[in-house]
Chain A
């Protein structure tokens, strides 16, 4: 940790600016980081690789992320996705017919629009000649959509891909019970009245009990919040630290919102309602208020509460990805390069949310970078406890050696470069859409703050994880 600090201080001259702006009280564990600098000198190499196409993000947008049950509650997922796609069209002015392919990520599928990418694209006015598919990989579904696009471009199959993600938690498919479904299907096939009556006579009242979409991990039957609480306990992350981190996220998000930094947002005129222009989950509170909340999962003594967890969110995002030469030929000024990425997976029971810990050293190694080279970290914040546990795991030689098969730790990201415009805890986390938000936040921060490399990382249900290096496009 200290070595990282020294390095950072040495290389970052104008420290004072950020120190002033950094109004939130930093976490106790890293209070020495208070005087934190930001802008990076521009002397690093570019990560272009010979014989591999450079892939760029032209731009990306998202509709405001709203707490579920608010303004988007009467819509369907493809409505949100469509709004994001329309916003992207508007923002980039990309001619519809140059888009080769559209990919969307989503987690809880609306059965009517199981290929939500296609339904949304058609409705958003994309060409009906542009194929679209939907991917799912829990909280890293949008990341999977983007990297699938990267793969298509890198292999020369496409030049222009739209990737995005959508989630509508205001409405989820609640099914009839299996017994009821079976009976209904059998009734369909029954030919005579006698057959029908005999089937109906088997009806029992408990057939009517509905089946909710799984909130628990299928393999372990454990809810994610419960796992997060255990993870926090395993790494001895205190309730106070978690609340403090959550407060930081909300405060930074509020500040970013107030300063107009969340430029990836496109307004969304909700039919029959007002135009939504802002995320509505940002609620900076006080530590005292947060301390009053009861634990949400491990009762009565757990540490994960509603205030230090990400909330159920509705939202959608979309991003225009192109081969660099194509973007330049079309006269675009891209925002960033998408560079190396990795997917990792580990034990879904006890290490469910440690994806970033596993993914970070791998992606850095792949790109030939170290943690010190990264100017902007954008990690998905599922829970405060999860972020802080990942920090501790990344900073532990013991963990690296015993669980990751590595010789040394990768180190913990310096907090002053970490999720500076808020994160999933405050901005919200529409499962399928968060990935694009992370990449756009990294790209926009690099432009704003003058850094070169961004690191995006996220954990996902199933014990999986993802990380990607985003490189600022030279101005």
Chain B
């Protein structure tokens, strides 16, 4: 179950919960209160003067991050006006004293409260005016960047005359607006291409990717780097920010004394590129290529990227005024789209699902043990060791164990190849992993996660073995995609310590972790599991136990419908293209192959028994036949498609024709109906999960569907989709399909209620 680029890129560091406060930031005081204005009460900004350099320090109260909200903006402009008016001040430094964050972006709630696109356009224009003043400042302004400099923060920084950034991992620059379905609306679309060149600017704005400081320096996005410092006479983080300020003040002085030039030496390649792009024909080709690529990747489902291209083009071809106007108008339009609302909803959801609402566990998990070194077990190990968890990976055979250890090593080594780790760091991280065949050291384990084969009696066996050796406080977590946790816990002496942790494959790529609690699972056990998951970098939903929990249960009816559609004679390739063009990152037929036909069969049988007719539709004989022929999907080389090492284009497995022909049912659906048959069954089941209390909140339902199952991010998840699309319309469609195909399409009560009452899942 791989979610595509759109989902993955949502993981970027723009989400504030990532910025953990390193220190309570109380010792950093401004020593230079030389102006009376500094004593005026400001809450977000602290302003001092060093010689003839003004130092503007941002630190919003009661928040882990600085955002460009109204108060901060007005305080900032007030301070800047004072700086411009003062005769003593010749230059300024802009710095954040909040650890790990320069400015994480604009305040998106500001947009959410707008009712019309004109209102949003006005916000954009205010921002444009503010940054234009900075850009035109006769007194040079140096942005001293430490930590996240994203969105509006980046637009502010590139309006300054000079940028100095700390070269650490927390310092990233980026324009993630596209991930929220909007565009950089405060001059970013106009300034960025001039600063880093058209191709790099498109790359930043269209992917929203974060750029580390050293790369930013090479691109010309920042002018100088400052190395992070170790301990001196103060904590390292504190001293580093102080040092950054000292260096920035020196550069500010140098700039105002004209000893330093803001002009950057361009390399040969850069010069050639910028020459080429000065030719209108070349530029047109670039626009065309980028647009083609965007259309191909977004399938027209996301309006923001195309508008970004349009706005950039307007600015370059028709001049600044037209560019700024277009930027603010398109910004307003985009902020009002369903796609943007869906993506912003996901953003908020993700922030929520990165918090531990169960509080801190009594005992922090430091020693972890994983049973089973298969794909999942090794994947879990990989995301644990690099977070500093001491991890035991136990398998039954040396071959299995060796394969798992190699998987962990390869995962780390790939990071070395991408220069995200040094080989030394890799080795040091890898030393957190102990591979073994016995239970040695389990007496110290704080948590055991079993990822053995999905077989209840096997799970019971290992549970008993493990309970004989682990200490009393140790949590036993089961990584299963469908086996009910209470059935696993039935074999336990201490069911309050048993919990489900459903990871998604590949574990190092998929962000979701579904945690399953039984009636007996204690709150502390849950808190412990959530804490481990968060440490592993996961987005977490906590659901109640039941057949298929939430994610598998939602997927199963859709899969059943997939089979039915294939039985109707729809080509796998056609089905894939219908699903991806609806916004799923992976086509439905491919998804079956990826999950594994045997697994799909197993799950369908189990859930079919549990839920009866609602899970009918496709004929399970299809899966059974495939399993018996050895068509298990990607892992066996054949499924609906043929998989060959090194061959990129997928060919349909022609041996399937016979099987499909023997189970043929009459076709009678339009393309749109096919898409909606799949989606409505998914959505209906998701809403039923909320109705039955499997899900605690619609937010978790949306996050689980998007991050675990690849539900189209542009729709925001099943619940957001119901809200935006309209419950009534979905019920109508379900009724229509119910009449044509049967009870599997009967809408659930909660959905009907919403249709009747116009209630929304999100207020």
Binding site for B on A (CB under 8 A): 218-221, 226, 229-231, 233-236, 298, 300-301, 347, 349-351, 389, 392-393, 396, 398-399, 402-403
Contacts and interface: CB of A to CB of B under 8 A. Distances in A.
A218 B235 CA distance: 25
Contact of B236 (A226, A301, A350): A350
B248 to A, nearest CB: 10
Contacts of B234: 398
A218 B424 contact: yes
A300 B228 CA distance: 16
B478 interface: no
Contacts of B228: 230
B703 to A, nearest CB: 37
A399 B227 contact: no
B231 interface: yes
B227 A235 contact: no
Nearest to A397: B233
B229 interface: yes
B230 A351 contact: yes
Contact of A350 (B230, B233, B250, B251): B230
A402 B230 contact: no
Interface in B239-285: 239, 243, 247, 250-251
A393 B239 CA distance: 14
A234 B236 contact: yes
Given A221-B422, A350-B236, A399 B247 contact: no
B227 A301 contact: no
B658 interface: no
B233 A392 contact: yes
B243 A233 contact: yes
A230 B230 contact: yes
A219 B230 contact: no
Given A301-B247, A350-B236, A231 B230 contact: yes
A226 B227 contact: yes
Nearest to A227: B230
Given A233-B243, A234-B236, A301-B250, A350 B424 contact: no
A236 B231 contact: no
B232 A389 contact: yes
A235 B251 CA distance: 21
Contact of A235 (B232, B247, B250): B232
B224 interface: yes
Interface in B579-617: none
A398 B233 contact: yes
A301 B224 contact: yes
A306 B239 CA distance: 25
Given A234-B236, A301-B250, A349 B230 contact: yes
A351 B239 CA distance: 15
Nearest to A402: B231
Contacts of A234: 229-232, 236, 239, 243
Interface of B: 224, 227-236, 239, 243, 247, 250-251, 422, 424
A229 B229 CA distance: 10
A403 B234 CA distance: 11
Given A220-B424, A301-B247, A236 B224 contact: no
Nearest to B164: A301
Contacts of A398: 233-234
**From B229, B231, B247, residue with most partner A Cβ within 10 Å:** B231
A396 B233 contact: yes
**From B227, B243, B250, residue with most partner A Cβ within 10 Å:** B227
A236 B240 CA distance: 11
Nearest to A349: B230
Complex A-B, nearest 10 residue pairs according to Cβ-Cβ distance, in ascending order: A350-B230, A234-B232, A234-B229, A235-B232, A219-B424, A233-B243, A234-B230, A230-B227, A396-B233, A230-B229
Given A236-B232, A350-B231, 12 more contacts: A221-B422, A230-B228, A234-B231, A234-B236, A234-B239, A235-B232, A236-B239, A347-B230, A351-B231, A393-B232, A398-B233, A403-B231
Contacts of A229: 227
Nearest to A229: B227
Contacts of A300: 224
**From A221, A230, A300, A392, residue with most partner B Cβ within 10 Å:** A230
Nearest to A302: B227
14 contacts: A219-B424, A234-B229, A234-B230, A234-B243, A236-B233, A298-B227, A301-B224, A301-B251, A347-B230, A350-B236, A393-B233, A398-B233, A398-B234, A399-B233
A399 B224 contact: no
Nearest to A352: B230
A349 B230 CA distance: 8
A234 B227 CA distance: 10
A399 B234 CA distance: 8
Contacts of B229: 230, 233-234, 350
B415 to A, nearest CB: 15
Contacts of B227: 226, 229-230, 233, 298
A336 B44 CA distance: 63
**From A230, A234, A350, A402, residue with most partner B Cβ within 10 Å:** A234
A94 B747 CA distance: 102
Contacts of A301: 224, 247, 250-251
B146 to A, nearest CB: 14
A403 B233 CA distance: 10
A234 to B, nearest CB: 3
Contacts of A235: 232-233
A219 B428 CA distance: 10
Nearest to A219: B424
Nearest to B247: A301
A249 to B, nearest CB: 23
Contacts of A351: 230-231
A403 to B, nearest CB: 6
B537 to A, nearest CB: 23
Contacts of A231: 230, 232
B555 to A, nearest CB: 45
**From A220, A226, A350, residue with most partner B Cβ within 10 Å:** A350
Contacts of A392: 232-233
Contacts of B250: 301
A226 B227 CA distance: 9
Nearest to B235: A402
B137 to A, nearest CB: 23
**From A218, A300, A301, residue with most partner B Cβ within 10 Å:** A301
Contacts of A393: 232-233
B243 A399 contact: no
B428 to A, nearest CB: 8
A396 B424 CA distance: 32
B230 A399 contact: no
A399 B422 contact: no
Contacts of A226: 227
A389 B230 CA distance: 12
A240 to B, nearest CB: 14
A393 B228 CA distance: 18
Contacts of B251: 301
**From A236, A392, A402, residue with most partner B Cβ within 10 Å:** A236
B34 to A, nearest CB: 21
B294 to A, nearest CB: 37
Contacts of A233: 227, 229, 232, 239, 243
Contacts of B230: 230-231, 234, 347, 349-351
Nearest to B243: A233
A220 B421 CA distance: 11
Contact of B231 (A218, A220, A221, A399): A399
A231 B230 CA distance: 7
A403 B236 CA distance: 11
A130 to B, nearest CB: 39
Contacts of A347: 230
B623 to A, nearest CB: 48
Nearest to A347: B230
A105 B761 CA distance: 74
Contacts of B422: 220-221
